[in-house]
Amino acid sequence: MARLVALSDGIYAIAMTLLVIDVAVPAGLGDSAFHQALRNALPNLGAFALSFALTAGFWRDHRRILAGLSNGTAAVTRVILLGLGLVALLPFPTALLAEYASQPEAVAVYATAVAAIHTVHLVLLLLTRHQVHPTASSPGAGERRRFGVRLAVSVVIFVLSIPLAFVSTAAAMWFWLALVPARHLVRRRPSAS
C-alpha cells in the first residue's frame, strides 16, 4: 500500500503541474497585443483553477479512502490504477474546456472525466469499507458513509450536467456550483447507523 500511495502522490503532483501548461502569454508582444494575449489567457487560467481545485480534492479524497488500509487486494489495486489513469488524463479535458467552453462536447467530456474520477473513488471506498470499518458501528463508520454520500452526490451533479451541456454550456458549468451547497448539506446530515 505504501508504494501505491507514493505512486498516487506522484501522479497527482504531475497531473496538477500539467494543468498549467496551457496558461501562457507569448513573449515580445507590444502593449496592445500583450493586453489581448492576457485576456485570451483568462479561459485557460479559469480552467486551470477549476481543475487544480478539483484535483486537489481528488487527491485529498484518495488519501482519505486509503487511510487506515494496511493492504490492498488485486481489485483495489486495479481500481486505484484506473483512477490514476483518469487523473493523468485530466489535463486533456481541462485544455478542451479552456479552448472550447462554448461547445457542448467539450463541457460534456470535462464533466464525464470528473464524474468518472468521483465514481472510481466511490467504488474504492465501497471496496475498502470492511477493511477499515469491519462493522457498521465501528468508530468512524458513520463518517465514512457520509463521505460515500458526498462522493455519490458529486457523481450525480456532474452526470446531470452532461445532457444539460447540450442545452446550454453555461448552465451546465454553473450547475457544477451545486456541489457547494450539496456538500454542505451532506456534511450537516447526521450519519445513519
pLDDT tens for 49-77 read 999 999 999 999 999 888 877 777 888 89
Asked whether residue 28 is assigned to any structural domain, the reply reads: yes
Asked whether residue 193 is assigned to any structural domain, the reply reads: no
**Residue 189 — very low, low, confident or very high, per pLDDT cuts 50/70/90?**
low
pLDDT at 192 over 60: no
Asked whether residue 12 is assigned to any structural domain, the reply reads: yes
The Cβ of residue 163 has, within 10 Å, a number of other Cβ atoms equal to 12
Give the list of residues 6+ apart from residue 21 with CB closer than 8 angstroms, or none: 91
The Cβ of residue 90 has, within 10 Å, a number of other Cβ atoms equal to 24
Mean pLDDT across 1-23: 88
Asked whether residue 10 is assigned to any structural domain, the reply reads: yes
**Residue 135 — very low, low, confident or very high, per pLDDT cuts 50/70/90?**
low
pLDDT at residue 110, rounded to an integer? 97
Asked whether residue 35 is assigned to any structural domain, the reply reads: yes
**Residue 193 — very low, low, confident or very high, per pLDDT cuts 50/70/90?**
very low
**Residue 14 — very low, low, confident or very high, per pLDDT cuts 50/70/90?**
very high
pLDDT at 151 over 70: yes
**Grid cell 490514476 in the structure block, residue:** 84
Separation CA 62–CA 142 (nearest Å): 18
Vertex 24, ends 56 and 14: CA angle to 5°? Answer: 35
Whether 112 and 90 have beta carbons less than 8 Å apart is answered as no
Task: Give per-residue pLDDT as tens, 18-48.
Answer: 988 877 888 888 888 999 988 888 888 999 9
pLDDT at 117 over 90: yes
Full residue range of the structural domain in which residue 135 is found: 2-188
The total domain count for the chain is: 1
pLDDT at residue 168, rounded to an integer? 97
Asked whether residue 6 is assigned to any structural domain, the reply reads: yes
**Residue 143 — very low, low, confident or very high, per pLDDT cuts 50/70/90?**
confident
CA distance between the termini of the chain? 29
Asked whether residue 101 is assigned to any structural domain, the reply reads: yes
The DSSP code sequence of 7-36 is HHHHHHHHHHHHTTTT----SS--HHHHHH
The pTM score is 0.86
Calculate the average pLDDT of the chain. 89
Burial class (CB in 10 A: 0-12, 13-18, 19+), 37: middle
